[in-house]
Amino acid sequence: MTKGSPPNLPYFAGIDIGSTMTKAVVIDAAGNIISAVKGPTGAEHRHLANEVMAKALEAAGLRLEEVGWIVATGYGRFNVPFADEHITELSCHARGVYQLFPNARTVVDIGGQDAKCLKVREGKLVDFAMNDKCAAGTGRFLELTAQSLGIGLEDLAALSLRASKPVEVSNMCTIFAQQEVVLRLSQGERIEDIIAGLHRALAERVAALVRRLGIEPEVVLTGGVAKNAGMVQAMKEALGCSLLVPEEPLLTGALGAALLAMERTQRLLAQGKPLKTKARHLEKATFYTGS
C-alpha cells in the first residue's frame, strides 16, 4: 500500500460510543476485520474515545493516516473529533448485522441504557422501535438489580442457568424491583431463582417492544446484554423463537460503521469523485455540555 493519496487507502474504521461501552473496529478493503477494541465509556471515561481508537489502530498495526474514512456512531457519535462522518447507530447496526447474518430480518439490541428493535432487509433499516425513556427494559435494569443482590454482571449468566424455579418479579420499575429482590432474598428465595426471574422480567419487557414491530426470522440479538447466556435463553423463551447471537455482540454497530465507511469511499471513487479527508489527529474528545 502507498500512503498519502486517499484512493489507495485500503483501511476503514468505525467507532461506536455507547452509553456504557465504546467500541472501535478497523477493516480492510474487503470488509475483513483487522482489529476490534472495546473500552468503557462511563462518565469519567468519556474522554477516552481517542484511546479506544488508538488501541484499535495499534492492534491493526496502522497509523491514523492509513485509514481512509472513519465513521462514528452511537449516542456519543458527535463527540468524536477525528471522525469523518456521523451515522446513526440504527443504520450502523443494520449494516453490521447484515455482514454477520445476511438473512436477518429482526435485530434486537439491548444496551446499557436503551433497547431497540430493528426490522432490516439486506442490511437496510425498514422500521424500528426503541425504549430509552425507562430503565426497565434496558441493561440498566439488570445492572442495578444485580448490584442490589451484590452480584457482578459477569456472574449473572452462570447463576441464572442454575435456577430451578424462577421467582416472579412483579415490579416493572427498576427501583421498585431493586427493593423487591432484596425482600425476596430475605424471604429465603434462592439467588439463582431471583436472577432468573430478573432475566425473565427484562426479556418480557423487551419482547413487548419487539412484538410491536412483529417477529420475523431470522432474529439476531446484539448489545452487551447478549453476552449473558441467561438473558439469551430468557429472550428465546419470551419471543418463542430461536436467536442468532454474534460472537462479539457489542461490536455490530462499530463494524457496521466501518463497513459504511468502506462502501461510501468505494462509491465515491467509482463515481470518480475525490474523497474529502480532513487533517486528523487523535485529540481528546470534546463532549457537548450545552442543550
Partner 1 sequence: MGWYMGIDIGSTYSKGVLLRDSEPVASSIRLSGIDHRTTADAIRKELLARVESPPQPIEVVATGTGAGNVPFANSQASDIVCTARGINRLFPQARTAMDIGAQSTRVIKLDGRGMVTDFVVSEKCAAGSGRFIEVIANVLRIGLEEFGPLSLQSRNPVAFSTGCAVFGESEAITRVAEGVPKEDIAAGVNLALAAKIASLAKRIGLELPCAICGGGALNQGLTAAVEKELGIKLLVPPEPRTVTALGAAIQAYSGAAA
Give the interface with partner 1 as residue ranges (CB under 8 A). Answer: 43, 113, 132-135, 140, 144, 171-176, 186, 289
d(CA 52, CA 50) in angstroms, rounded, equals 5
Provide the 3-class DSSP secondary structure of residue 288: coil
Q: Which residues, 6+ apart, have CB-to-CB distance to 224 below 8 Å?
A: 18, 20, 21, 110, 111, 112, 139, 249, 250
d(CA 36, CA 55) in angstroms, rounded, equals 9
Our CB check for partner 1 shows the closer of 8 and 179 to be 179
Q: Minimal distance in Å, beta carbon 212 to partner 1?
A: 19
Q: Minimal distance in Å, beta carbon 136 to partner 1?
A: 8
Helices (H), the chain: 42-45, 49-60, 89-100, 139-148, 156-160, 174-186, 191-213, 229-239, 252-270
Nearest to 77 by CA among 130, 138, 14: 14
Our CB check for partner 1 shows the closer of 272 and 288 to be 288
Q: Minimal distance in Å, beta carbon 179 to partner 1?
A: 8
Our CB check for partner 1 shows the closer of 161 and 182 to be 182
Our CB check for partner 1 shows the closer of 22 and 174 to be 174
Q: Minimal distance in Å, beta carbon 289 to partner 1?
A: 6
Residue 282: burial class (beta carbons within 10 Å; 0-12, 13-18, 19+): middle
| Angle of helix 229-239 versus helix 191-213 axis, rounded to 10 | 50
For 70, list phi and psi in degrees, rounded to 5: -120, 125
Our CB check for partner 1 shows the closer of 43 and 270 to be 43
Our CB check for partner 1 shows the closer of 1 and 175 to be 175
Q: Minimal distance in Å, beta carbon 213 to partner 1?
A: 22
Our CB check for partner 1 shows the closer of 43 and 279 to be 43
Q: DSSP for 41-62?
A: -HHHHGGGHHHHHHHHHHHHT-
Q: Minimal distance in Å, beta carbon 77 to partner 1?
A: 18
Q: Minimal distance in Å, beta carbon 113 to partner 1?
A: 7
C-alpha cell at 141: 435494569
Peptide bond into 192 cis (omega under 30): no
